[in-house]
Amino acid sequence: MLNNRMLEDIYTVFWRDWIVLKRRLTKFILSRMVAPILYLVAFGLGLGRSITIDSGNYIDFLVPGIIALNSMNISFNSITPVHAERIYHKSLEEYMLAPIKPVSFVIGKIAAAVLRSLISSSLIIVLALIFGASLLFLTSISNIILFISILILNSIIFASIGFFAAMTIKTYEEMAQVNTYILLPMSFLCGTFFKTTTLPDGVRFFIELLPLTHTSYLLRSLSTGVDIAAISPFVLIIYVLVTFMLSVKSFEKQEKL
């Protein structure tokens, strides 16, 4: 249970990151618009004109995948500065010396990453509507809540992965390799730009174990009206619990060093 002291500690960590984001909000918004616009133009309006999808236009299929992909990248990269604070600036030690429990610090950092992800995802939804996408989840309050909940779960997972990496990886170059070897393959294979049914069975089995695949399934189901896969929410919840626990344990280990 979260007591008042823990809530205050979480809020303190979160508020520090919010102040930083607030000062750079305009630059953050503008920079977050570049990649989605390129995806919508190149894949949605360009390549998408020659692609037929059972559930409707390709751009309607594409947008949920872009949102899932965006929430993964933003939440992970939002935690990257923690690595610099630990390795280069040595400012993470200030948090370790402060009377803040490790779990409060981790929750505060992850909450700030989730906020960045939701802001960026909102921008993509606005851009998608401008480009003519049809997003059925916007017609129902319950579906909007489900859509946001799935985004939050996905953001927590990859923010937690980012935090764990920041606590365990020793150099900036190795931190960048996480993007190359983990995030980049998921970006293109986890049902973001095409259906996973087109993949070979062996590859598909492995891809469907990954969290981004289930996020793409769920967001696309809500956006296009296709039935939701019952197992996908449980997969995301399991990932949330495991990755969050690893994050807390990794920070506790740093405190003992």
Tell me which residue of 160, 81, 79 sits closest to 116, measured CA to CA.
79
Classify 88 as helix, strand or coil.
Answer: coil
Give CA–CA dist 185/58, Å, rounded.
21
Predicted TM-score of the model (pTM): 0.92
Burial class (CB in 10 A: 0-12, 13-18, 19+), 66: buried
Find the mean pLDDT for residues 116-126: 93
pLDDT tier for residue 150 given thresholds of 50, 70 and 90: very high
DSSP H helical ranges for the chain = 4-23, 25-39, 58-87, 92-97, 102-130, 141-168, 172-178, 184-189, 201-207, 211-224, 231-256
Number of other residues whose CB lies within 10 A of the CB of residue 136: 16
Average of per-residue pLDDT values in the chain: 87
Tell me which residue of 78, 216, 64 sits closest to 125, measured CA to CA.
64
Q: Model confidence over 21-69: pLDDT tens digits?
A: 989 888 888 888 888 888 888 876 766 666 666 656 788 888 999 999 9
Kindly write down the DSSP assignment for every residue of 40-72, as one continuous string: IIIIIIIGGGG--BTTB-HHHHHHHHHHHHHHH
Domain range summary for the chain, segments of one domain joined by +? 4-256
Place of tokens 């060093």: 257
Give CA–CA dist 46/194, Å, rounded.
15
Find the mean pLDDT for residues 106-121: 94
pLDDT tier for residue 144 given thresholds of 50, 70 and 90: very high
Give CA–CA dist 43/20, Å, rounded.
33
Find the mean pLDDT for residues 83-104: 78
The pLDDT assigned to 254 comes to 82
Give CA–CA dist 88/106, Å, rounded.
19
Give me the count of residues in the chain.
Answer: 257
